[in-house]
Amino acid sequence: QVQLVESGGGLVQAGGSLTLSCAASGRTFSSYAMAWFRQTPGKEREFAAAISSSGSFTYYADSVKGRFTISRDNAKNTVYLQMNSLKPEDTAVYYCAARSRGTSFSLNDYSNWGQGTQVTVSS
């Protein structure tokens, strides 16, 4: 098990940038694949980005590809989501998730979740 705490959300204008951080507890962070999901009221939580345990492989939803970058620092037990060229439709609660196996696009495959951080993009 790993505990996750997100930070870095906030209010930003369209076209702006934000960087989310997710700090993990535990000594085995480097063995976990990590992902960011997002959710808006009334909608299902959706995949945004994922990164392999080593950081060698990254994956993105089409809606964020080219604008968001996921990265990790295993020495700091932290995963990041750099978000550029933000759009109002990026407004959501962003959740960090960890999986002890390989990366996955499905939220049902992740058993460790943070509490979420709100990102609001104004037009």
Quick: pLDDT tens for 50-102.
999 999 999 999 999 999 999 999 999 999 999 999 999 999 999 999 999 89
pLDDT for the residue numbered 26 = 79
Q: How far is CA 10 from CA 27, 34, 56, 121, in A?
A: 29, 22, 29, 8
Q: What Rg do the C-alpha atoms of the chain give, in angstroms? A: 13
- Calculate the dihedral angle through the C-alpha atoms of 39, 19, 34, 4, rounding to the nearest 10 degrees: -80
pLDDT for the residue numbered 70 = 98
Confidence class of residue 111 from pLDDT cuts 50, 70 and 90?
A: very high
Considering the chain, what percentage of its residues have pLDDT values greater than 90? 96
For the chain, the residue count is 123
